[in-house]
Every structure is written in C-alpha cells, then in structure tokens.
Structure 1
Amino acid sequence: MKILHAVTLHSPSHAFGGPVRVALNLAKGLRERGHEARLLALGEGFDPWPTSVEGVPAKLFPARRLLPLGFSGMTSPALLASASRLVRDADVVHVHLARDLVTLPVALAALRAGKPLVLQTHGMVDPSEKLLAKVLDAVAVRRLLRGADALLYLTPHERTGLDAVVGPPPLAQAVRLVNGTPAQEERPPLSGPPRILYSARLQARKRPVDFVDAAPAVLAAHPDAEFVVAGPDEGELAAVRARVAALGLTDRFTVPGALSTPEVLTELRRAHVYVLPSVDEPFPMSVLEALSVGVPTVVTHSNGLARDIAASGAGRAVDPGPQGVAEAVLALLDPAENAAASKAARELAAGSFSMDAVLDTLLGVYEDAARRS
C-alpha cells in the first residue's frame, strides 16, 4: 500500500513539534511492515536539502512565509502546484490537518481526486472565534471533516471539539487513535546529581517559566540538582533566561535550544525526572518518549496523558503552577519512588502506547477508508 503522510513543516529544530514526530513514527512503522509510506511537507533550515527523513522518503518544499500568521501563513507555490499529482500516486492520503496553507490544499486535492482520505488533527482544529479560523472553516475545514473517509482523534475532548466545528450531526467516521512511541532502550542506572528535564517548544501554553520557578524549592532539598530547558523558541526563551537570571540560577540551568531526536533521547537517558508543565496539552509526544525510556514524568491535570500517568504510577499529575511541579519532582527524586515510577513508565509505554498496537488500528482504518472511498 502506498501511503502519503502530509504535515505542515519539517525543520532541523523540529519547530512544528508533535505532529511531525507522529507522522514520522507512523511512516517508519508502516515501512517496517512492507508498505510504501512517504512524507510531504514544507521544509525550512536544511543544508543540504534532504530527500528522506529518518529513513522515510520525503518530498519537502522550501517554505514561503506569505502572511505574518506563524505556521498558518506558510506555504509553497510548488507544493500547491504538485498536490494533485502527489495524491494521485498514493493509495491512501493521510493528512495531519491544521488550519494552514499546506495541509488544507493537500486534503482538498485528495478529496477532489477521490482518494481514500484520512485526517488526523492532533488537537489543532478546535472551535475558535478568530476571523481566519472562521473563514477557513467555512471555505474548507467543514467540507474536509465531513468528506474524509476517516477522522482520527486523540481524546474525547478533541472529538467534542471537532463535532462542534462541523455542527450536527456528529461525525460518524471518527476513530480514536492514540499516539504511539517506538520501543526505546531503557535509561541506565542513575548517577550524579539529580537532573530535571524540560524538552518541548518554548511557548506560553507550555509554561516553561513554571519549570524555572519550581527550581528553588527543589534546590532547597537537593542543592546540587541540575535543570535543562531544551526546545525551539516560540516566544518564551527571553522570559526563561530572564527568570533564571533573576533567581540567580544560571549555574544550575542549561538552555541548549532545539535538539535533534537522538539528542533528545540522550538527554532523557540522563534525566531523573521529566517535566512538562503545559496546560490543555492533548497528547504530547515528548511525554511518551520520556515514558518509553523509563523517566518518571510530571504533567498537569489537563494533559491528555495525566490520568494514565497517575493511575499507573509512572509519574505525577499536578495543578498548574510551580508549587505542584516542585512537590512532584521532590517526591520522584526519592530513589525508591523513582525506581518504581521508572518501571511503571516503561510498562505503560509498552502496554498502552506501543507502535504495534497503533499500527494495527491504523491499518484497519486504511482498509475501511479504501472500501468507503
């Protein structure tokens, strides 16, 4: 089966975050099962320009910023001109849909061509009062959500939001598909001072400053603790640096910027605890990666993985803010607690979020989509 995965942007800094990671994980898993999965996206920041990403054949078009609207204002005239041809070559078109000028045109091209169309929105299409969102919903989004052969969602909250965008009746072709993570080598036995890691985009909703503000309470009990704030800047880097300086903690913090996938895994294998203090996080890949390596994890209650983490003992779910983060980190730095949570994290990743289980579900979705189309 030839499957085209379309996502908005791929860059060395992984600026677009989780949807690209999901698309690559799925494409790699599909190729391991003998299918011809490829990636289609804008590209930015490469030298030399790649023809594959992590072993997945990729067609990347140089990104052009047409409007000052972040990712929504980026596109490529060459990609738009090629979309119809690219979707015709596929047996299934799997679009990681956002309100942008990349995935919307590709999905519309697949719909026009009568190709089996699978949409996965990653929480990026939800009810919005913004004028641009309303225009795009009226012009394209509702048509695509109704016309797709399958619509993949992560959480009941996301499903409710998609139904609200479309309006009644509810979307009959919606299927829940959790994010999966490939099996990873377990982190080695802990050594050295406690090391606490944040690795995600530096964005206001992710609340990296809460991570910084939790440090003094941790350092009061563990004065040798080390903190790492890694990830591409989306507006919060200056605030993070300013807060670290204001607290007099520049010798306790490392801020390395965006990391490659191997570099993220290296940091995870050194970490005693992983923290993602963001709010309303649908299903973060960084947390799944931490669990797969066996790193106890701290998230807020609005995280899509919070219940699984708390119920399994793989970490802690807390109220937003530095106090809850600090208390959870301190609890997980206890050696016995850390060892138990690490074991639970590995079991949770392997049992509930393995790539094999996700791919089994996805291939069934593809087969149903092909029949429906």
Structure 2
Amino acid sequence: MRVLHAVTLHSPTHAFGGPVRVALNLAKGLRARGHEANLLALGEGFPEPWPTSVEGVPAKLFPARRLLPLGFSGMTSPALLASAGRLVRGADVVHVHLARDLVTLPVALAALRAGKPLVLQTHGMVDPSAKLLAKVLDAVAVRRLLRGADALLYLTPHEREGLDAVAGAPLPNAVRLVNGTPAQEERPAPSGPPRILYSARLQARKRPVDFVDAAPAVLAVHPDAEFVVAGPDEGELAAVRARITELGLSARFTVPGALSGTEVLTELRRAHVYVLPSVDEPFPMSVLEALSVGVPSVVTHSNGLARDIARAGAGRAVDPGPAGVAEAVLSLLDPAENATTSKAARELASSAFSMDAVLDTLLGVYEDTSR
C-alpha cells in the first residue's frame, strides 16, 4: 500500500512539534510492515543539499514561504501547491495531518478532487474558533473536508465534540486513534543530583514559566537539583530566561534550545522527572516518549493523558500552576516512589500506547477507506 503522509512543516528545530513526530512514527511503522509510506511537508532551515528522507522515511520537502504574519498558518509553497494533484494521485491512501493552514488544506482538497481515499488526523488543531481567519477557512474548506473524508481520526472525546461542532453535524466517519510511541530502551536507574526536564515548544499554552517558577520549592528540599528547559522558541524563551534570572537560578538551569529526536531521548534517560505544565494539551508525544523510557511524568488535569497517568500510577496529574508542579516533582523524587512510578510508566506506554496497537487500528482504517 502506498501512503502519503502530509504535514505542515518539518525543520531541524522540530518547530511544528508533535504532529510531525506522529507522522514519522506512523510512516516508519508502516514501512516496517512492508508498506510504502512517504512524507510531504514544507521545509525550513535546512542547509544545502536538502534532505530527501527523514529518519529513513522518503520525504518531499518544499521550501517554505511566509505569505502572511500568521505563524504556521501563513506559510505555504507555490511549488507544493502545483505538485499536490500529482503527488496525491500517486498514493493509494492520502493521510493528512490537518491544520487550518495553506499546506494541509490544499493537499486534502486535492485528494478529495482526485477521488483518493482520504484520512484526516487533526491532533487537536481544528477546534471551534471565533477568529475571523478560522471562520473563513472553515466555510471555504475545513467543513467540506471533515464531511467528505473517508475517515477522521481523533484523540479524545473532547476533540471529537469539537470536530462535530466545526463540521456542523455529527461525523459518522470519526475513528479514535491514540498516539503511539515506539518501544524504547529503559533508562538506567537515576543517579546524581535530581534532574527535572521540560522538553516541548516554548509556547504560552505550554506554560514553561510555570516550570521555572516551580524550581524554588524543589530546590528548598533538593538544593543540588538541576533543571532543563528544552525546545524551540514560540514566544516564551525571553520570559523563561528573564524569570530564571529574576529568581537567581542561572546556575541551576540549562536552556539548550531545540533538540533532535535522539537528543530528546538522551535527555529523558538522564531525567528523574519529566514535566509538561501545559493546559488543554490533547495528547502530547513528549509525555508518551517520557513514559516509554520510564520517566515519571507530571501533567495538568486538562492534559489528554492525565487520567491514564493517574490511573496507572505513572506520574502525577495536578492543577495548573507552579505550586502543584513542585509538590508533584518532590513526591516523585523520593527514590522508592520514583522506581515504582518508573515501572508503571513503562507498562502504561507498552500496554496502551504501543505502535503495534496503533498501526493495527490504522491499517484497518486504511483498508476500510480503500474498499
């Protein structure tokens, strides 16, 4: 089966975050099972010559052009738009990681016009919005795509409700597909000073400053603790650095910027605890990756993984804000609790979020759309 995965942007800094990681994990899993899976995306920040594959997945990357000052929504490529029809016609299934942007919307529309089986996966990026641009795009393209796709993959009941609301009617083509994570080597038993990690985009919704503000309470008990704030900047880097300086904690923090996939796993294997203090996070890949190597994780209650983590004893779910984060981190730094929670994290990742289970579901969806 030839599957084309279309996602908005791939860059060396992994600026687009989780949707690219999901697309790559699925494409790699499909290829391991003998299918032909390729990646289509904008590219930005690569030195010449540009890559023709990403992590072993053949990739067609088009240089990004920023037409409007709207972040990812204002990026496109005339060459990609001109090639979209040809590229979708060469696939048996077109799997679009849909956002309200000028990349994934045109590719999905091209697949619809070509009569190709179309699978949409929105990653929480398409939800009811009062913004004018969102309303325009919904009227012009999004609603038509949600109703016309052969399958629509969603993560949580909340996301499903939002998609029904955007479409203006219940969507009978919706199928729940959780994010999966490849099996990883277990981290070694933590040693040395406590090391607490944040690894995600530095974006207001993800609240990296809450992570910084939790540090003093942790340091009051563990004065040798080390904190890492990793990830590409999406507007919060200056605030993070300023708060670290205001608290006089420059010696206790490392801010390495964006990390590659391999570098993220290296940091996770050194971490005692992983923290993602974001609110309304649908289904974060960074937390799944932490669980897969056995790092106890702290999330807020609005995180799509919060109930699973709390139920399995794989970490802590807390109210938003630094106080809850600090209390949770301190409890997980207890050696016995850390060991127990680490084992539960690994078990949760392998039982509920394995790539094999996700791929079994996805291939069933593909087969149904191709009939």
Give TM-score, length-normalised by structure 1.
Answer: 0.99
Q: Counterparts of 1:333 and 1:191 in 2: how far apart (Å)?
A: 11
Distance 2:14 2:268 in 1: 17
**CA deviation vs aligned residue, 1:156-210 (integer Å, no higher than 9, x gap):** 000000000011xx10000000000000000011111000000000000000000
Q: Distance in 1 between matches of 2:338 and 2:8?
A: 38
Q: Which moved more, 1:183-192 or 1:353-362?
A: 183-192
Q: Deviations over 1:82-117 (max 9, x none)?
A: 000000000000000000000000000000000000
- Cα deviation code 1:329-349 (max 9, x no counterpart): 000000000000000000000
- C-alpha distance in structure 2 between counterparts of 1:240 and 1:230, whole Å: 11
Equivalent residue number for residue 113 of structure 2: 112
1:316 partner SS: strand
Deviation string 1:320-367 (CA, Å, 9 cap, x unpaired) is 000000000000000000000000000000000000000000000001
Which moved further from structure 2: 46-55 or 172-181? 46-55
Secondary structure in 2 aligned to 1:22? helix
Local SS of the residue matching 2:303: coil
How many angstroms apart in 2 are the aligned matches of 1:206 and 1:134?
A: 25
1:48 Cα shift?
A: 3.1
Partner of 1:18: 18
CA distance in 2, matches of 1:342, 1:275: 14
Q: What is residue 200 of structure 2 aligned with on the other side?
A: 200
Q: What corresponds to 1:354 in structure 2?
A: 354
CA shift, 1:36, in A, is 0.1
Give the distance between the partners of 2:99 and 2:108, measured in 1 at CA. 10
Once residues 67 and 330 of structure 2 are traced to their aligned partners in structure 1, the CA distance between those partners, rounded to angstroms, is: 47
CA distance in 2, matches of 1:29, 1:218: 39
Name the counterpart of 2:80: 79
Q: Could you report, residue by residue, the CA deviation over 1:44-93 in whole angstroms, capped at 9, with x for unpaired residues?
A: 00143100000000000000000000000000000000000000000000
Q: Secondary structure, in 3 states, of the residue corresponding to 1:93? A: strand
Unmatched tracts of structure 2, length 5 or more? none
Q: What's the counterpart of residue 332 of structure 1?
A: 332
Q: Distance in 2 between matches of 1:85 and 1:203?
A: 36
Query: Aligned partners of 1:369, 1:138: CA distance in 2, in Å?
Result: 25
- Sequence identity, in percent? 90
Find the residue that maps to 1:9 and give its secondary structure.
strand
Distance 2:7 2:190 in 1: 37
Q: Deviations over 1:9-60 (max 9, x none)?
A: 0000000000000000000000000000000000000143100000000000
Which secondary structure does the structure 2 equivalent of 1:251 belong to?
A: helix
Tell me, in whole angstroms, the C-alpha distance in 1 between the residues paired with 2:340 and 2:198. 21
Task: Find runs of 4+ consecutive structure 1 residues off by over 4 angstroms.
Answer: none
Provide TM-score, normalisation by structure 2.
0.99
Residue 268 (structure 1) shift: 0.1
Tell me how far apart the structure 2 counterparts of residues 274 and 68 of structure 1 sit (CA, whole Å). Answer: 33
Q: Give the SS at the match of 1:262.
A: helix
**Separation in 2, partners of 1:216, 1:66:** 43
Per-residue CA deviations over 1:238-277 (Å, capped at 9, x if unaligned) read 0000000000000000000000000000000000000000
Q: Secondary structure, in 3 states, of the residue corresponding to 2:7?
A: strand
CA RMSD of aligned residues (A): 0.5
Cα distance in 2 between the residues matched to 1:6 and 1:190: 39
Please name the residue that 1:121 is paired with. Answer: 122
Q: Which residue of 2 aligns with 1:174?
A: 174
Q: CA separation in 2, counterparts of 1:23 and 1:161?
A: 22
Could you say what secondary structure the match of 1:229 adopts?
strand
Instruction: Give the 3-state SS of the residue equivalent to 2:348 in structure 1.
Output: helix
The CA distance in 2 between the partners of 1:200 and 1:3, in whole Å, is: 28
Partner of 1:248: helix, strand, or coil? coil
Distance 2:141 2:232 in 1: 30
Q: Distance in 2 between matches of 1:147 and 1:161?
A: 17
